[in-house]
Structure formats: C-alpha cells, structure tokens
Structure 1
C-alpha cells in the first residue's frame, strides 16, 4: 500500500505545474515564500493548510535551525525524520522528487515534504476525500505522524497540535514573514486514543509517568551527587517518543514542557538514565523542551517548574543547591554537547532553586 501511495502522490506532484512554480522560488528571493509554500503544499497534497502550520509550529516553532538535526534526527520546520525506526525524510524525498539535502535546508521544500508525508500517512489510514476536508478527522493521522510507541504519547503529540489549532498560531518563518492560524473550536476525533489516561510518577509529586524503553536505561544506580540540566533539541512529545524508542539508546529522568512546565518522569530516580555519559551513574537528568539557539522556548513557566523539580531532588536526596552540583550538560566531563547553551538564564534559575 505504501508503494502505491508513493507512486500516486509522485504523479500528482509532477502534475502540479502551479505548485512547482511556487516551490522553485528560493526563500531569500520572496518574502512571502513560506506563505505561498504552505498554501501550495496544502492544495497539492489535499492536507488542511492550518494543520500543516500547526504541526510545524508544534515541532519547531517554524524554525529551520540552520539545517541541524533534532535529537531524533529530524530536520527543518516540519521535522522530517531519518532514524532507524522513522523515515519521513526519505518518504518525502520519494514523493516529491526533492533531494534529502534540499528537504533539510530549504524552507519551501521542507514545507512541501511535510505535507507530502502527512498525505501519504492519511492514505495509509484510509482517510477519504470528504474526511480530508475536516480537521477533526485528521487526529489519528497526526497521532501516528509523531512516531510514538505507546498510546499516551501518541495522544500527547496530537493534542499539542490540536491545542494550537484551537488557540491559534502566530510565528515568524525563517523567511521573515509572519505565519498565522486563526483560533477555532476543535473536537478532535480521537478514536481509540480517547480512553488513554495518565499515571502518577513514582518519584516527583505531580509528574506524569510515561516510562522510557527499558533498552534506554540501566536498572539501579550509585548515589546521586548532581542534577544535569539539558535542552531537548526537539519538542516535548517528540522527546518522550524518542526515549521510548529502543533504538535511541538515550533517556533522562524528567522532561519538561515549554508552554506550561508540565513534568513527565521517564526513568525512576533509583535507575540510571543515559543522558550525560560519564555522569550517568551519579546524576539525575532533566530535559527541557526547546532548542539551544532559540530562547523563546525557555518560558517562565518552565523555569519555575524545573526549579521546583530540582529543589525537590536536592531536598529529597540531600544535594547542595549550588552550581557545582546543579550543572549543565556541557559542563559534564567527557561530553561534547552544548546545552543548555548561552540562552539559559542560570542566575534566574538558581535564584528560583535557592529561594
């Protein structure tokens, strides 16, 4: 079915002369290139334009991040992924005829690829012509596109997109233009995901328990002597999904959401998450949704929530609330990561921890 879908979409793409003309414009040549790309991609692949924008905003806040990959090797504002278990980048290349390099680095090509990948998935889910015109009917497709392994994470990903459709979107694209989605009432058709529920975490009070794959951490640990602050280089739901993928070989104890500071625990404090190489046996890892090069992800809600987690960990395990104990990933010996980066406000964060 997937090969048939790919051939059908490729034929439609070649027939779209108007769309081809629009996508041939380099982003730097047209200040409305992204606006045109979203509209053309929606028309070419019969995917609601506002849904394409909302998915892009949920994944990247419409940022290309200089062609650099996310934690799970996703590229561009539409987060086209190439890893052992997900191949939306390669799928987009097959459907559109664009090179993977162009899909990674060119704004308009990346948008087109994102729409193509979603339409291919819609076909796999049997979403017919009439249903493709209804935003609420796309919910199972969006949930599947996130690549999650468990129902709770599938719903978390799709709910984030539909929350954006309900609240509206206003973001600046890499081309400099403002892309908007008007707020609307949504009633997503969740299907079997409507009955999913959350479980309380075993350690930090108020956290949601959504465990990492057992292939991505080790049972037991030595005594904790530090906490390590990370930035996910990806979305909240996408990071949780990646830690549940047994191919990832990475995890953290906690993941925090940018918008409201929601806390998900993925590895028990008594176990060893794989997040900081040499410091794994003796540290607790806290991931923060966002990208190191974009301070807009570091909201006050997330700072305060993270500080509350760190304060609780220090109080519970007898850790000093000092910068030699509460460290960034980049400060751990033997690591080559740069997070949380220069945009992380350590003075503010520590003032909250020690208040």
Structure 2
C-alpha cells in the first residue's frame, strides 16, 4: 500500500473471469448497519428510496470492498465504507452523497447504513443527469454509464473496467456472509448492459515490458521519468482498495503515488502503470532501485489473496528477476513494510510468503 507524500521527498504507492470470480463469492466482513436493520435491510431501503436496482447497489459495494467497512479506515484512494465514498478533487462521491441525503460526512464515512444510502443517492443523481426515466431505472442494464461514472476513473477504458466488474458480479451472483451472521445475496442474472458512450472504449493496449499485462499509464505527476539506480529489488504491496479503483487513483494527479504493476484478486489480471525504466513512487527511499507490484485487497482479509493472484504475481516477479538479474530470495523480494524508511505494514501477516516464494523460485509451478 503506497504511503501519502512526505515533505521535500517524493513518496510511494500503494471483465473478471466468471469461473475465477465464482470461487470468491462467499466473503466475510465486519460491516453492520446502524439502527434496527441489517446490512441487507439497508440495501433494500436505500434501493427503494432512491429508485436504484437493489442487486446493482449490492454488486457495486461487493466489487469495492466485499461489503467490509474496514472499521471506517480509508482505502488507498481515500474511499470510505462498504460503498467506497470518496472525496478528492477529481472524485467527490462523499460530498455528493452529503448534499443529496443531508447526512453529515462523518456518518457517511463510518455508518454502514448511511454509507449505503449515500451511494444510492449518488447513483440516482447520476441517473437523473443521464435522463433515465422510471422504466430505465428499473432495468439494471440501463445503469451502465452511471456505474462507470461512479467509479471515478479518469479515462473511458478504466471506467469500463470498473463497470464491467460490477456487471460480472451480477451475472455470477453474490453470497456474502457478514460478521453478524447475516447474509447478503444476489441471484445470478443474465444482464447485458447498455454500454452507451463506453461502447467505443476498447481494452487497454498491451504492455511493452511485460506482454501478459495491460498498459494503463499513471499520471505523469505521480512518478519520475528515468532512474538514478539499477533495478535490484521487487516490492510487494497490497492496494487497500479495489483493482479498478487503484488504477484510477494512480491516474489521478492528486495521488502523487504510483506502482509499476497492479494485480487483480479474482483472476490475476495484471495492469502496468509505470514503465520499468521509470521510477514509480511506491516505497519512499526504495523507489530508485525497486519495482513495485500492487495486489488488490486489504491486509486484514486473506480472502483477497487468491491462488490465482499469487500465481500471476509470481510469474511477473520471475520475469522481472530474469530480466534484471535480481536474486530470487527474500533479501531482494520484499514486502513494503520491509523496505528501509517505510512505515507501512503491507502485505501484512496474512500474505503467504512461503507459498509465494516457492512459486517465484520454481519449487511450486507458477502456471
């Protein structure tokens, strides 16, 4: 997870495959709605009050956080709650939620019921701007553009990546078990979304440095061109947020952080955001000599660290160690927390270093 900028020193960074996704659709998280309702009740009420399809609202929250509020702590991109409400110069869903609901920002950040209600209000406001009438709003397929905009991406390709994730969840279905024992379910539904203006947004081009990856460049203000030291270390991070959300954040000039690569939890999809030859801001004093790999998820939830993610990331690390002559050992393949001069804890104690290194060294086949 990339740290925030520090004075006088540039800082650090922090269409899912249906079969891979299906294996991940039971998740636990500590979110609990306030008042007399469960999280499931909060989704139903917010959906009814704002005319947003309930299953769509759940899919957005599940795609962002797996319905885990992370005890009110913000994500890498500054998003709060199960619905990841954000207030940055480029993405202001938290502020819009406060304006539309009249609820205080503090409640929207920490109260799950308020957070869900705020997200529904943001989506309805976007639907109104798009001119969706009552019949449109009843059809989840008509909400694609509103969902894409909710994600806050700075370009159409990343916005489509975000929306495609949500609609993949609708097609596959969701069964989330929360810490209070209640469940939130979405039955599988064959939804074919109306892509609207995003129909022409094709997939990201391929990476020149690592052909299996997509190429979605970070904003130029979030990294430095060139390097001052040879590449000698690979640094493992956890995004503290979603895959699409992290990509969008590194494309936001307000971030002032980045990583070279981001790996998705469900299917191991990889996106490169900074060329190997350039210096991503992900590890403070270690930036100059390292390559940073972000992994979708949260340090306190091992469910994000899937077998597919481990294998995909290990294949990338094997490629990097081959290309740059980096020894395949724990002195040269480090967690963010192990880089000198850093105060972060990722990838945390739930990251399986023994398994990961066995994949990197070839003791366990990575493919």
TM value normalised by structure 1:
0.90
What residue ranges of structure 2 are gaps of 5+ in the alignment? 1-31, 363-367
Give the superposition deviation at 1:172: 2.1
Counterpart for residue 215 of structure 2:
209
State yes or no: 1:130 paired with 2:102: no
Q: What aligned pairs does 1:133-212 form with structure 2 within 5 A after superposition? A: 133-173=138-178, 175-197=180-202, 198-212=204-218
Q: Which moved more, 1:112-121 or 1:256-265?
A: 112-121
Instruction: Give secondary structure in 2 for the equivalent of 1:53.
Output: helix
Give the superposition deviation at 1:195: 2.3
Q: Distance in 1 between matches of 2:253 and 2:127?
A: 26
Counterpart for residue 260 of structure 1:
267
Q: Which moved more, 1:327-336 or 1:166-175?
A: 166-175
Q: CA RMSD in A?
A: 1.2
Q: Deviations for 1:145-165, whole angstroms, at most 9, x for unmatched residues?
A: 111011110100000000000
State yes or no: 1:295 paired with 2:311: no
Counterpart for residue 283 of structure 1:
290
Q: Distance in 2 between matches of 1:212 and 1:338?
A: 24
Instruction: Give secondary structure in 2 for the equivalent of 1:171.
Output: strand
Give the superposition deviation at 1:123: 1.3
Instruction: Give secondary structure in 2 for the equivalent of 1:199.
Output: coil
Q: Distance in 1 between matches of 2:119 and 2:220?
A: 31
Give the superposition deviation at 1:82: 1.4
Q: Distance in 1 between matches of 2:232 and 2:131?
A: 52
Q: Deviations for 1:268-289, whole angstroms, at most 9, x for unmatched residues?
A: 1000011111111110000000
Q: Which moved more, 1:103-112 or 1:238-247?
A: 103-112
How many residue pairs were aligned? 329
Could you tell me whether the CA contact under 8 Å between 1:64 and 1:174 is conserved in 2?
A: no
State yes or no: 1:33 paired with 2:38: yes
Q: CA separation of 1:28/1:97 partners in 2, compared to 1, >3 Å: closer, same or farther?
A: closer
Could you tell me whether the CA contact under 8 Å between 2:33 and 2:42 is conserved in 1?
A: no
Q: Distance in 2 between matches of 1:175 and 1:118?
A: 27
Counterpart for residue 108 of structure 2:
103
Could you tell me whether the CA contact under 8 Å between 1:253 and 1:284 is conserved in 2?
A: yes
Counterpart for residue 21 of structure 2:
none
Q: Distance in 1 between matches of 2:181 and 2:73?
A: 19
Could you tell me whether the CA contact under 8 Å between 1:201 and 1:209 is conserved in 2?
A: yes
Which structure features the higher share of helix residues? 1
Q: Distance in 1 between matches of 2:179 and 2:224?
A: 40
Counterpart for residue 11 of structure 1:
none
Counterpart for residue 325 of structure 1:
332
With a CA cutoff of 8 Å and minimum separation of 6, indicate the structure with the bigger relative contact order: 2
Q: What aligned pairs does 1:67-82 form with structure 2 within 5 A after superposition? A: 67-82=72-87
Counterpart for residue 311 of structure 2:
304
Q: Distance in 2 between matches of 1:27 and 1:115?
A: 15
Q: Which moved more, 1:49-58 or 1:109-118?
A: 109-118
Instruction: Give secondary structure in 1 for the equivalent of 2:210.
Output: coil
Give the superposition deviation at 1:175: 4.1
